């Protein structure tokens, strides 16, 4: 396939780019510097030049507290951005896959959120992402919106890489004990995004690793154990005690009603994904040492 990846400098974007290249797709990757998805004219020109079969949008302003303070910027990237990409995809006959978030839910439900649950975002970030899903769907019926959460992976700063790095240095860590989600390994998400683009079945999908989900605390403890680090360095805090500008849902675990119904394999359990992540971190560290010597 000819695939255009927007937001290719981010955690998920890098994984998508690597996966598409490994699948021998003709992959056209754009970072924030090379394509601002909030700029409708640039988006149109770029997509018209590339004429992809599929556009995969991994770009977003993901600073949840930043979004709370600068709502205009949040909406430009997270709502206008997907709409611009969907409109340009429509003009050149491409399928459009855009990533959304578990933060479109308010967190008051017990158990898993599925596509049957009404979104009710409690933060500007969540609201802007929901707006992005909806505007993209209105602009292009062929839109595939993929909601995910608790994403972890190699490269860049994310919750788990910070936990493992600091755990390996023996530093004390703080983690939240009262927020639950469904961990998702970026390479697994990347593979599913491409698979969905190939299937070309429009709609909303929830894509997360299998299992009952975890609190940040459980997730961090499992990561420290897998990395062979001392779990005693982990200190728990409550969400409220952090006093952050943006509220977060206390439960945002996701389950998909559609994936298995259309014959897609469930993604591996998050504990397996975590083991793969820790192994890849160790491999990267060893490669670093080998290069230095
Ligand atoms: N990470 C998670 O736990 C999580 C959970 C649920 C959903 N998601 C969703 O997953 C997707 C990928 O997130 P991620 O974890 O990979 O986040 P990320 O590492 O922050 O990557 C997002 C990328 O988008 C870029 N970007 C921001 N504004 C842009 C714009 N206007 N035009 C083009 N690029 C822009 C950023 O570049 P700069 O940094 O240079 O601005 C960054 O490289 C997003 O849609 C996010 O909402 C992530």
Q: What is the pLDDT of residue 289?
A: 44
The domain spans of the chain are 2-154+182-210+252-268
pTM: 0.96
Q: Give the pLDDT confidence of 129-169 residue by residue, as tens digits.
A: 999 999 999 999 999 999 999 999 987 667 787 888 888 88
Cβ–ligand 1 distance for 99 under 6 Å, the answer yes
Q: What is the mean pLDDT of residues 10-36?
A: 98
pLDDT higher than threshold 60 for residue 290: no
Q: What is the pLDDT of residue 218?
A: 95
Cβ–ligand 1 distance for 11 under 6 Å, the answer yes
Q: What is the pLDDT of residue 285?
A: 67
Of 179, 3, 157, residue with least CA distance to 92? 3
Of 1, 239, 31, 274, residue with least CA distance to 163? 274
Quickly state the pLDDT bin for 71 (edges 50, 70, 90): very high
Distance from C-alpha of 135 to C-alpha of 79, rounded to nearest angstrom: 7
Q: What is the mean pLDDT of residues 276-290?
A: 72
Report how far ligand 1's centroid is from the alpha carbon of 293 (Å). 35
In this structure, the strands spanning 143-148 and 203-206 are parallel
Sign of the four-CA dihedral 84, 90, 93, 95: positive
Report how far ligand 1's centroid is from the alpha carbon of 10 (Å). 6
Report how far ligand 1's centroid is from the alpha carbon of 262 (Å). 28
Q: What is the pLDDT of residue 95?
A: 98
Which residues have C-beta within 8 Å of that of residue 122, sequence separation ≥ 6? 106, 107, 247, 248, 249
Which residues have C-beta within 8 Å of that of residue 194, sequence separation ≥ 6? 1, 3, 16, 19, 20, 23, 25, 54, 56
Cβ–ligand 1 distance for 132 under 6 Å, the answer no
Q: Which atom of ligand 1 is nearest to the CA of 150?
A: 3
2-154+182-210+252-268 fold = Rossmann fold (3.40.50)
Q: What is the pLDDT of residue 292?
A: 34
Cβ–ligand 1 distance for 149 under 6 Å, the answer yes
pLDDT higher than threshold 50 for residue 259: yes
Q: What is the pLDDT of residue 280?
A: 86
Catalytic residue IDs: 125
Report how far ligand 1's centroid is from the alpha carbon of 59 (Å). 5
Report how far ligand 1's centroid is from the alpha carbon of 32 (Å). 9
Q: Give the pLDDT confidence of 186-244 residue by residue, as tens digits.
A: 999 999 999 999 999 999 999 999 999 999 999 999 999 988 888 888 999 999 899 99
Q: Which atom of ligand 1 is nearest to the CA of 99?
A: 45
Q: What is the pLDDT of residue 167?
A: 87
Cβ–ligand 1 distance for 7 under 6 Å, the answer yes
Q: Give the pLDDT confidence of 92-117 residue by residue, as tens digits.
A: 999 999 999 999 999 999 999 999 99
Q: Which atom of ligand 1 is nearest to the CA of 63?
A: 20
Cβ–ligand 1 distance for 32 under 6 Å, the answer yes
Helices 81-92/124-139 angle, 10° precision: 20
Quickly state the pLDDT bin for 287 (edges 50, 70, 90): low
pLDDT higher than threshold 80 for residue 250: yes
Where does residue 31 rank: exposed (0-12), middle (13-18), buried (19+ CB within 10 A)?
middle
Q: What is the pLDDT of residue 161?
A: 78
Cα–Cα distances in Å, from 146 out to 117, 194, 207?
15, 11, 6
SS3 track for 107-159: CCCCCCECCCCCCCCCCHHHHHHHHHHHHHHHHCCCEEEEEECCEECCCCCCH
Q: Give the pLDDT confidence of 47-64 residue by residue, as tens digits.
A: 999 999 999 999 999 999
Work out the mean pLDDT of the chain and round it to a whole number.
94
């Amino acid at each position: 396939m000819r695939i255009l990846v927007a937001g290719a400098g981010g955690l998920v974007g890098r994984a998508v780019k690597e996966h598409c290249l490994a699948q021998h797709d003709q992959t056209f990757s754009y970072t924030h510097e090379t394509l601002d998805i909030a700029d409708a004219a640039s988006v149109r020109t770029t997509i018209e030049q590339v004429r992809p079969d599929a556009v995969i949008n991994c770009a977003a302003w993901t600073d949840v507290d930043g979004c709370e303070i600068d709502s205009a910027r949040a909406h430009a990237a997270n709502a206008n951005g997907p709409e611009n990409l969907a409109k340009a995809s429509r003009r050149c006959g491409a399928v459009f896959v855009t990533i959304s978030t578990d933060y479109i839910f308010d967190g008051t439900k017990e158990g898993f959120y599925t596509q049957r649950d009404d979104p009710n975002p409690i933060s500007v970030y969540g609201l802007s992402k929901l707006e992005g899903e909806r505007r993209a769907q209105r602009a292009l019926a062929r839109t595939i919106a993929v909601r995910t959460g608790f994403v972890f992976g190699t490269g860049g700063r994310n919750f788990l890489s910070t936990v493992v790095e600091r755990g390996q240095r023996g530093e004390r860590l703080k983690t939240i004990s009262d927020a639950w989600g469904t961990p998702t390994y970026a390479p697994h998400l990347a593979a599913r995004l491409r698979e969905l683009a190939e299937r070309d079945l429009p709609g909303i999908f929830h894509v997360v690793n299998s299992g009952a989900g975890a609190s940040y605390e459980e997730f961090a403890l499992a990561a420290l154990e897998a990395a062979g680090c001392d779990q005693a360095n982990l200190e728990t805090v409550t969400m409220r005690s952090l006093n952050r500008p943006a509220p977060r849902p206390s439960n945002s675990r996701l389950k998909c009603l559609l994936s298995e119904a259309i014959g897609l394999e469930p993604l591996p359990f998050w504990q397996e994904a975590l083991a793969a992540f820790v192994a890849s971190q160790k491999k990267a560290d060893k490669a670093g040492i080998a290069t230095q010597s």
